[in-house]
Chains A and B, each alone.
Chain A
Amino acid sequence: MASTEIARHLQVGDRRVALDPEGYLIELSDWSPAVASALAAEEGRVLTPEHWEVIEVIRDFYSRYEASPAMRPLVKAVGLALGPEKGRSLHLMKLFPDSPAKAAARLAGLPKPANCL
Protein backbone atom coordinates (compact mmCIF):
# COMPACT_ATOMS: atom_id res chain seq x y z
CA MET A 1 0.00 0.00 0.00
CA ALA A 2 1.06 3.58 -0.51
CA SER A 3 2.99 4.81 2.47
CA THR A 4 3.25 8.42 3.60
CA GLU A 5 6.40 8.06 5.67
CA ILE A 6 9.29 9.75 3.89
CA ALA A 7 12.43 7.69 4.43
CA ARG A 8 14.77 9.41 1.99
CA HIS A 9 14.96 11.41 -1.22
CA LEU A 10 16.16 10.48 -4.67
CA GLN A 11 17.94 13.15 -6.70
CA VAL A 12 16.63 13.20 -10.28
CA GLY A 13 18.15 16.08 -12.26
CA ASP A 14 17.34 19.17 -10.21
CA ARG A 15 14.41 17.53 -8.39
CA ARG A 16 14.32 15.66 -5.10
CA VAL A 17 11.78 12.84 -5.13
CA ALA A 18 10.49 11.54 -1.77
CA LEU A 19 10.60 7.77 -1.23
CA ASP A 20 9.00 5.60 1.44
CA PRO A 21 11.00 3.10 3.52
CA GLU A 22 10.71 0.46 0.80
CA GLY A 23 11.75 2.80 -1.99
CA TYR A 24 8.29 3.47 -3.47
CA LEU A 25 7.26 6.98 -4.44
CA ILE A 26 5.34 8.94 -1.80
CA GLU A 27 3.64 11.07 -4.45
CA LEU A 28 2.60 9.01 -7.44
CA SER A 29 2.46 12.20 -9.51
CA ASP A 30 6.24 12.60 -9.06
CA TRP A 31 6.77 9.84 -11.60
CA SER A 32 8.45 10.43 -14.93
CA PRO A 33 10.57 8.22 -17.16
CA ALA A 34 13.63 9.96 -15.68
CA VAL A 35 12.49 8.95 -12.18
CA ALA A 36 12.08 5.36 -13.36
CA SER A 37 15.61 5.37 -14.79
CA ALA A 38 17.01 6.81 -11.55
CA LEU A 39 15.17 4.19 -9.46
CA ALA A 40 16.51 1.49 -11.75
CA ALA A 41 20.05 2.85 -11.57
CA GLU A 42 19.86 2.55 -7.76
CA GLU A 43 19.31 -1.17 -8.24
CA GLY A 44 22.07 -1.40 -10.81
CA ARG A 45 19.59 -1.93 -13.65
CA VAL A 46 19.51 -0.29 -17.04
CA LEU A 47 16.01 -0.11 -18.48
CA THR A 48 15.66 -1.65 -21.93
CA PRO A 49 12.68 -1.34 -24.30
CA GLU A 50 11.44 -4.62 -22.84
CA HIS A 51 11.38 -3.08 -19.37
CA TRP A 52 9.64 0.06 -20.60
CA GLU A 53 6.81 -1.82 -22.25
CA VAL A 54 6.11 -3.70 -19.01
CA ILE A 55 6.22 -0.42 -17.07
CA GLU A 56 3.63 0.92 -19.49
CA VAL A 57 1.43 -2.14 -19.02
CA ILE A 58 1.55 -1.91 -15.24
CA ARG A 59 0.80 1.83 -15.28
CA ASP A 60 -2.16 1.16 -17.53
CA PHE A 61 -3.33 -1.57 -15.13
CA TYR A 62 -3.17 0.90 -12.24
CA SER A 63 -5.06 3.63 -14.05
CA ARG A 64 -7.78 1.17 -14.96
CA TYR A 65 -8.17 -0.73 -11.68
CA GLU A 66 -6.74 1.67 -9.05
CA ALA A 67 -4.44 -1.03 -7.69
CA SER A 68 -1.02 -2.48 -8.42
CA PRO A 69 -1.25 -6.06 -9.68
CA ALA A 70 0.11 -9.12 -7.91
CA MET A 71 2.23 -11.48 -10.01
CA ARG A 72 -0.56 -13.51 -11.62
CA PRO A 73 -2.61 -10.58 -12.89
CA LEU A 74 0.57 -8.84 -14.00
CA VAL A 75 1.48 -11.86 -16.12
CA LYS A 76 -2.04 -11.87 -17.51
CA ALA A 77 -2.01 -8.13 -18.27
CA VAL A 78 1.39 -8.38 -19.99
CA GLY A 79 0.14 -11.32 -22.04
CA LEU A 80 -2.97 -9.44 -23.11
CA ALA A 81 -1.02 -6.32 -24.05
CA LEU A 82 2.22 -7.72 -25.45
CA GLY A 83 1.33 -11.21 -26.56
CA PRO A 84 1.62 -14.69 -25.07
CA GLU A 85 5.41 -14.88 -25.59
CA LYS A 86 5.89 -12.10 -23.06
CA GLY A 87 2.95 -12.96 -20.86
CA ARG A 88 4.93 -15.52 -18.92
CA SER A 89 6.41 -15.30 -15.46
CA LEU A 90 9.77 -16.43 -16.83
CA HIS A 91 9.99 -13.37 -19.07
CA LEU A 92 9.13 -11.06 -16.15
CA MET A 93 11.56 -12.83 -13.81
CA LYS A 94 14.31 -12.21 -16.33
CA LEU A 95 13.51 -8.51 -16.56
CA PHE A 96 12.84 -7.95 -12.85
CA PRO A 97 14.58 -10.69 -10.87
CA ASP A 98 13.35 -11.66 -7.38
CA SER A 99 9.90 -10.13 -7.33
CA PRO A 100 8.67 -8.77 -10.66
CA ALA A 101 5.35 -7.43 -9.36
CA LYS A 102 7.02 -5.38 -6.64
CA ALA A 103 10.00 -4.25 -8.70
CA ALA A 104 7.90 -3.25 -11.68
CA ALA A 105 5.42 -1.34 -9.49
CA ARG A 106 8.28 0.55 -7.84
CA LEU A 107 9.86 1.53 -11.14
CA ALA A 108 6.46 2.49 -12.55
CA GLY A 109 5.90 4.85 -9.62
CA LEU A 110 2.98 2.86 -8.21
CA PRO A 111 2.20 1.64 -4.69
CA LYS A 112 3.57 -1.70 -3.59
CA PRO A 113 1.13 -4.45 -4.61
CA ALA A 114 -1.10 -5.27 -1.64
CA ASN A 115 -1.85 -8.88 -2.44
CA CYS A 116 1.67 -10.07 -2.82
CA LEU A 117 3.94 -11.31 -0.04
Chain B
Amino acid sequence: MAISSPSTGDLLVILRHPPHGSSWLREGLDAALVAAAFGQSVSLLFQGDGVLALAKGQQTGPLGQKGTAATLDMLSMYDIDSLHVEETALERFGLEAKQLQLPARIADGDSISHLLAGHRLVLTF
Protein backbone atom coordinates (compact mmCIF):
# COMPACT_ATOMS: atom_id res chain seq x y z
CA MET B 1 0.00 0.00 0.00
CA ALA B 2 1.32 3.41 -0.90
CA ILE B 3 1.61 6.00 1.84
CA SER B 4 -0.33 8.96 0.63
CA SER B 5 -0.04 11.69 3.20
CA PRO B 6 -0.81 15.20 2.08
CA SER B 7 -0.33 17.65 4.92
CA THR B 8 -3.39 19.66 3.93
CA GLY B 9 -7.11 19.01 4.01
CA ASP B 10 -10.45 20.01 5.50
CA LEU B 11 -10.14 18.34 8.88
CA LEU B 12 -7.28 17.14 11.05
CA VAL B 13 -8.27 14.83 13.90
CA ILE B 14 -5.61 14.49 16.58
CA LEU B 15 -5.86 11.24 18.53
CA ARG B 16 -4.04 11.49 21.87
CA HIS B 17 -5.63 8.65 23.82
CA PRO B 18 -4.80 4.94 23.70
CA PRO B 19 -7.39 2.27 22.92
CA HIS B 20 -9.60 0.67 25.60
CA GLY B 21 -8.97 3.02 28.54
CA SER B 22 -11.55 5.61 27.56
CA SER B 23 -13.89 6.40 24.70
CA TRP B 24 -11.75 9.28 23.41
CA LEU B 25 -10.10 7.30 20.64
CA ARG B 26 -13.39 5.85 19.42
CA GLU B 27 -15.05 9.26 19.49
CA GLY B 28 -12.19 10.79 17.53
CA LEU B 29 -12.38 8.07 14.90
CA ASP B 30 -16.17 8.51 14.72
CA ALA B 31 -15.74 12.24 14.11
CA ALA B 32 -13.28 11.47 11.31
CA LEU B 33 -15.64 8.92 9.73
CA VAL B 34 -18.63 11.28 9.83
CA ALA B 35 -16.64 14.04 8.16
CA ALA B 36 -15.32 11.64 5.52
CA ALA B 37 -18.82 10.25 4.89
CA PHE B 38 -19.84 13.80 3.99
CA GLY B 39 -17.01 14.20 1.53
CA GLN B 40 -14.50 16.12 3.65
CA SER B 41 -10.82 15.34 3.23
CA VAL B 42 -9.66 14.08 6.60
CA SER B 43 -6.20 13.50 8.07
CA LEU B 44 -5.37 11.77 11.33
CA LEU B 45 -2.48 12.51 13.64
CA PHE B 46 -1.67 9.90 16.28
CA GLN B 47 0.11 11.79 19.04
CA GLY B 48 1.31 11.01 22.54
CA ASP B 49 -0.36 7.90 23.99
CA GLY B 50 -2.58 7.88 20.89
CA VAL B 51 0.21 6.21 18.88
CA LEU B 52 -0.70 2.98 20.68
CA ALA B 53 -3.89 2.91 18.63
CA LEU B 54 -1.64 1.77 15.77
CA ALA B 55 -0.08 -1.16 17.64
CA LYS B 56 -0.57 -4.47 15.87
CA GLY B 57 -2.51 -7.39 17.30
CA GLN B 58 -5.18 -5.54 19.27
CA GLN B 59 -8.17 -7.52 20.49
CA THR B 60 -11.36 -7.03 22.45
CA GLY B 61 -11.03 -6.04 26.11
CA PRO B 62 -11.26 -8.47 29.04
CA LEU B 63 -15.00 -7.81 29.33
CA GLY B 64 -15.51 -8.21 25.59
CA GLN B 65 -15.36 -4.46 24.85
CA LYS B 66 -14.97 -3.72 21.19
CA GLY B 67 -11.55 -2.45 20.28
CA THR B 68 -10.69 0.05 17.58
CA ALA B 69 -8.53 -2.14 15.33
CA ALA B 70 -11.42 -2.98 12.99
CA THR B 71 -12.32 0.70 12.77
CA LEU B 72 -8.74 1.52 11.81
CA ASP B 73 -8.88 -1.06 9.02
CA MET B 74 -12.10 0.59 7.83
CA LEU B 75 -10.54 4.04 7.41
CA SER B 76 -9.39 3.29 3.88
CA MET B 77 -12.99 2.48 2.88
CA TYR B 78 -13.81 6.07 3.89
CA ASP B 79 -10.79 7.28 1.86
CA ILE B 80 -9.01 8.35 5.03
CA ASP B 81 -5.43 7.50 4.13
CA SER B 82 -3.59 10.59 5.29
CA LEU B 83 -2.24 9.13 8.52
CA HIS B 84 0.54 10.66 10.58
CA VAL B 85 2.24 9.43 13.71
CA GLU B 86 4.36 11.41 16.15
CA GLU B 87 7.95 10.17 16.06
CA THR B 88 8.91 11.03 19.64
CA ALA B 89 5.84 9.19 20.96
CA LEU B 90 6.71 6.10 18.90
CA GLU B 91 10.20 6.17 20.39
CA ARG B 92 8.77 6.58 23.88
CA PHE B 93 6.98 3.25 23.49
CA GLY B 94 9.76 1.53 21.58
CA LEU B 95 7.62 1.18 18.47
CA GLU B 96 8.85 1.37 14.92
CA ALA B 97 6.87 2.59 11.95
CA LYS B 98 7.09 -0.78 10.24
CA GLN B 99 5.45 -2.48 13.24
CA LEU B 100 2.25 -0.48 12.94
CA GLN B 101 -1.13 -1.82 11.90
CA LEU B 102 -1.47 0.80 9.15
CA PRO B 103 1.08 2.73 7.11
CA ALA B 104 1.52 6.17 8.61
CA ARG B 105 3.91 8.97 7.84
CA ILE B 106 6.34 9.87 10.60
CA ALA B 107 5.69 13.34 11.97
CA ASP B 108 8.79 14.89 13.47
CA GLY B 109 9.95 18.36 14.42
CA ASP B 110 7.99 21.03 12.61
CA SER B 111 5.82 18.68 10.60
CA ILE B 112 3.18 18.52 13.34
CA SER B 113 2.70 22.29 13.30
CA HIS B 114 2.59 22.18 9.49
CA LEU B 115 -0.20 19.63 9.72
CA LEU B 116 -2.18 21.88 12.04
CA ALA B 117 -1.65 24.89 9.80
CA GLY B 118 -2.61 22.94 6.68
CA HIS B 119 -6.11 21.95 7.79
CA ARG B 120 -9.13 24.20 7.96
CA LEU B 121 -10.34 22.61 11.18
CA VAL B 122 -8.41 20.78 13.89
CA LEU B 123 -10.11 18.62 16.51
CA THR B 124 -8.27 16.98 19.41
CA PHE B 125 -9.45 13.81 21.10
Check whether chain A touches chain B (CB < 8 angstroms): yes
A interface vs B, CB < 8 Å?
61, 64-67, 69-73, 76-77, 114-116
Which 7 residue pairs spanning A and B have beta carbons closest together?
A70-B37, A65-B74, A73-B77, A66-B70, A115-B37, A115-B34, A115-B33
Check A72–B37 contact: CB distance below 8 A: yes
Residues of A within 8 A of B39 (CB): 72
Residues of A within 8 A of B33 (CB): 70, 114-115
Residues of B within 8 A of A76 (CB): 77, 79
Q: Is B30 an interface residue (CB 8 A)?
A: yes
**In the bound complex, CA of A115 to CA of B30 (Å):** 8
Contact indicator per residue, chain B 69-111, by CB within 8 Å of chain A (1) or not (0): 0110110011100000000000000000000000000000000
For chain B, which range describes its interface: under 10, 10 to 19, 20 to 34, or 35 or more residues? Answer: 10 to 19
**In the bound complex, CA of A77 to CA of B76 (Å):** 10
Check B37–A67 contact: CB distance below 8 A: no
Check A73–B70 contact: CB distance below 8 A: no
Given contacts A70-B78, A72-B39, A116-B37, 6 further A-B contacts (CB under 8 A): A61-B77, A65-B74, A73-B74, A77-B77, A114-B30, A115-B33
A109 to chain B, nearest CB (A): 18
Residues of B within 8 A of A77 (CB): 77
**In the bound complex, CA of A76 to CA of B81 (Å):** 14
Q: Which residue of A lies closest to B60 (CB)?
A: A66
Q: Which residue of A lies closest to B74 (CB)?
A: A65
Given contacts A73-B78, A76-B77, contact A65 B70 (CB under 8 A): yes
Q: Is B114 an interface residue (CB 8 A)?
A: no
Q: Is B56 an interface residue (CB 8 A)?
A: no
Residues of B within 8 A of A69 (CB): 77
Which of B39, B70, B77 has its CB near the most chain A CB atoms (within 10 A)? Answer: B77
Residues of A within 8 A of B71 (CB): 65-67
Check A73–B73 contact: CB distance below 8 A: no
Residues of A within 8 A of B37 (CB): 70-73, 115-116
**In the bound complex, CA of A70 to CA of B78 (Å):** 9
B81 to chain A, nearest CB (A): 12
